[in-house]
């Protein structure tokens, strides 16, 4: 009996020690969590009063919204998603865009614009004006459309512009917009709420809609344009290399004017080619013709 009492006493002591250790651990966890929450609150309050760059006080509802962790998760996710989408479209001014978007969000702007420009060749400048708007949540923004303008640095009468809408599902990149405004064709996989298709698209400079945009011509699979078979008719050196072949197809499908080497029986010559789905062929330009076209327009070789 005496031994049993001692064993029971030791068990009680061990149990009490374990309970005290557990209590200390729980207290430490709660204190750490409370400290973490306090730091978050401090950061949130600082951001509330730094959020508006023009010094205008924020409304009570907006301040309450800013105190919500869900707000920061949603806005940060939205900002990153939006910047990634703009980057995918070829707009590389992400640092400036991020600053502008945050400024407009702090002002609770319903809509705003972003501007950028690029020189895809030495004779033209391409400008883009992006139109963004609020979509649902107070600080969630989406790209509605962007207007691309091709400016001829020698003859401004040749300037062209076209607006590309996100809802069209074309997802035309900035460089592709330049190629389209240059008169070339671009191959796209289109996914929109209304339709899905694969097609070459081309702007019709002879016809505009009521908004001043060019009509977009489409040449789908039924049109019967097979770029691979067309290229196989020509002695293009790059077709013999698997990597260069894949790069060539990607470049032509993006609407680029691509330099290639023609291995002719008597000599090798550098040429420039572009896809021409409308007439189921490719346009071929020699170096001399390219120079003439840039200077003042030259004939197109078949």
Assess contact for 120 and 126: CB atoms under 8 A: yes
Q: Is the pLDDT of residue 291 over 80?
A: no
| 36 band by pLDDT with thresholds 50, 70 and 90 | confident
- First CA to last CA across the chain, in angstroms? 111
Q: What is the pLDDT of residue 296?
A: 46
Band (22; pLDDT cuts 50, 70, 90): low
Is pLDDT at 292 greater than 60 in this prediction?
A: no
Looking at residue 15, its pLDDT comes to: 53
Quick check: 72 pLDDT over 80?
no
pLDDT tier, 54 (very low <50, low <70, confident <90, very high otherwise): very low
Choice among 148-162, 214-228, 285-299 with the minimum mean pLDDT? 285-299
Buried b (16+ CB within 10 A) or exposed e, 10-29: eeeeeeeeeeeeeeeeeeee
- Which tops the pLDDT comparison, 80 or 180? 180
Q: Is pLDDT of 216 > 50? A: yes
- Is the separation of the CB atoms in 146 and 194 below 8 Å? no
pLDDT one-digit tens code per residue, 56-68:
444 433 444 444 4
Write phi, then psi, for 273 (nearest 5 degrees): -130, 155
* Calpha distance 238→100 (Å, rounded): 43
Residues 6+ apart with CB under 8 A from 189: 198
CA–CA distance, 287 with 162 (Å, rounded to integer): 29
Q: Model's pTM, two decimal places?
A: 0.73
CA triplet 72, 77, 83: central angle to 5 degrees?
Answer: 125
Contact (Cβ atoms closer than 8 angstroms) between residue 186 and residue 176 = yes
For residue 30, the model assigns a pLDDT of 75
Beta carbons of 230 and 278 less than 8 angstroms apart: no
Instruction: Give pLDDT, residue 264.
Output: 92
pLDDT of residue 200: 97
pLDDT at residue 12, rounded to an integer: 52
The domains of the chain are located at 61-223, 227-296
Q: What is the pLDDT of residue 33?
A: 75
Residue 234: both structure tokens together: 């020509």
Closest C-alpha among 294, 301, 302 to residue 182: 294
pLDDT at 2: 47
Q: Which residue has the higher pLDDT, 146 or 42?
A: 146
Return d(Cα 171, Cα 88) in angstroms, integer.
9
Could you give the CA distance from residue 125 to residue 236 in angstroms, rounded to a whole number?
Answer: 31
Question: How far is the CA of 80 from the CAs of 111, 142, 183, 195, in angstroms?
Answer: 18, 12, 34, 28
- Asked whether the beta carbons of 262 and 271 are under 8 A apart, the reply is yes
pLDDT of residue 275: 97
| 258 has pLDDT over 80 | yes
Please name which of 40, 41, 51 lies closest in space to residue 105, comparing C-alpha atoms: 51
Distance between CA 165 and CA 89 in Å, rounded?
Answer: 12
* 229 pLDDT higher than 90: yes
Measure the CA–CA gap between 236 and 270, rounded to whole angstroms. Answer: 10
User: Mean pLDDT for the chain?
Assistant: 80
């Amino acid at each position: 009996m005496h031994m049993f009492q001692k064993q029971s006493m030791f068990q009680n002591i061990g149990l009490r020690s374990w309970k005290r250790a557990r209590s200390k651990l729980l207290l430490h966890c709660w204190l750490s969590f409370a400290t973490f929450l306090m730091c978050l609150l401090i950061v949130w309050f600082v951001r509330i009063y730094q959020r508006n760059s023009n010094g205008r006080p924020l409304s009570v509802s907006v301040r309450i919204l800013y105190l919500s962790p869900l707000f920061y998760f949603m806005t940060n996710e939205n900002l990153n998603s939006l910047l990634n989408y703009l980057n995918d479209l070829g707009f590389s001014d992400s640092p400036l865009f991020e600053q502008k978007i945050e400024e407009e969000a702090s002002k609770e702007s319903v809509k705003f614009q972003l501007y950028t420009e690029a020189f895809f060749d030495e004779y033209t400048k391409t400008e883009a004006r992006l139109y963004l708007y609020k979509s649902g949540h107070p600080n969630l923004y989406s790209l509605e459309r962007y207007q691309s303008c091709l400016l001829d640095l020698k003859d401004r009468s040749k300037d062209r512009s076209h607006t590309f809408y996100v809802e069209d599902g074309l997802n035309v990149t900035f460089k592709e917009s330049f190629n389209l405004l240059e008169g070339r064709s671009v191959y796209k996989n289109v996914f929109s709420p209304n339709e899905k298709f694969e097609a070459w698209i081309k702007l019709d400079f002879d016809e505009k809609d009521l908004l001043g945009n060019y009509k977009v011509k489409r040449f789908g699979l039924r049109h019967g344009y097979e770029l691979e078979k067309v290229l196989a008719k020509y002695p293009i050196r790059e077709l013999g290399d698997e990597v260069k072949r894949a790069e060539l197809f990607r470049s032509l499908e993006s609407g680029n004017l691509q330099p290639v080497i023609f291995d002719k029986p008597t000599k090798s010559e550098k040429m420039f080619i572009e896809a021409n789905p409308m007439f189921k062929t490719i346009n071929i330009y020699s170096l001399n013709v390219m120079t003439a076209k840039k200077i003042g327009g030259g004939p197109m070789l078949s």
